[in-house]
Chains A and B, each alone.
Chain A
């Protein structure tokens, strides 16, 4: 399925802007000088270890806690300033491990939050259908599973068609099927121009799905860009796997000695190796021309490799 991305060019002014943001709790620097620019219609990932400052950054972006110093603006308005009400009406938030009210039904929960947001409740039934909770609309949240609560929390975040979505570990507790439909909704929202910030500790899950991401460690942004740009910046080697018939294994190994590859490991009928990005084309060409190589796979370093590269 092709993504329709309305993501604007880099010249488009950022909609969520953080400048020199610090948050200190006594001697602890939870956030230590963060600058961020999140552009219109972008799906932006914020990743980091527990305690890296992601959730604190989230809370500051939502105006729940003021920065010790620095400034955060959403659509030009300060999140804690006098015009916060207008900003918050256009913001949806799904907290990590969302806690809702056990004694309310799904529908009542949405009714309560839609009144607080000042939006019509007429869409609430459809919203529950959209997140796959139509069948449980009139059941108490007390009877919901963890995944169902998470989906109800997501529906709550979508109330009133927000222009900005903040999703903190949104797929916690969801089964693979629900994760798929969750990201399908995000794709649709992105095609409608919603700007989204998402955190996740499941890096494999977000690496193909975010437009850009920032890696946070110890309260600082270590790197920020597209997954591909971060891979290149980290200069991690690519991994190449080839298949050869067993009788050629030794000969091919010797041949590989001539090429700019490293960490060669031979198995029954295949050989794995690493190669630097700039040598990639030359190596592929040499392997393709060698009649003994039957198949070839090139693997980019995963986001996990990149993440550990930056955070270690």
Chain B
């Protein structure tokens, strides 16, 4: 199964791709704050708990000719929301699994999410592991509960991208999303399947139903 990708030509031969990204991780590790930093370059010391899910988009330019748009589903972290999780990660091209480097148990939760994604989600899903709240540790090294090397080792074994981030100072936030974008299959896959139905204007994309069958990219 290939990814849910929309590609469109732009004048000058530039590339535009669109991907679904889902954020998962324990409650209060900073999922919404990472997204807020990435999308709006803002940070709140006190941010309301996310109920259900929030949807945001952000477009980044990888180089002069390549643009990637992320459709981001930011989810609630509490354990019981797990029953809704498949709704969030179905068709996701990429996932950011977040833990809090000052909370040992949050890495265990992150590992459980990675396992579930690798078992249940799109088989080509790109997963990044993000150890958030790096600012806390910079201020006070005693607060670190998870050594960088341990998480890095795990990420390597599980085949994940890995970053330690701070939504507060913005350290590594852009880097995290850019690294994901670079790993996404910008060149393969067909158009994202937008529901068939009357469309206005001229649709220059190849017809989803006729071209994507072989590669299996139809979402």
Tell me, yes or no, whether A binds B: no
Residues on B facing A (Cβ under 8 Å):
none
Residues on A facing B (Cβ under 8 Å):
none
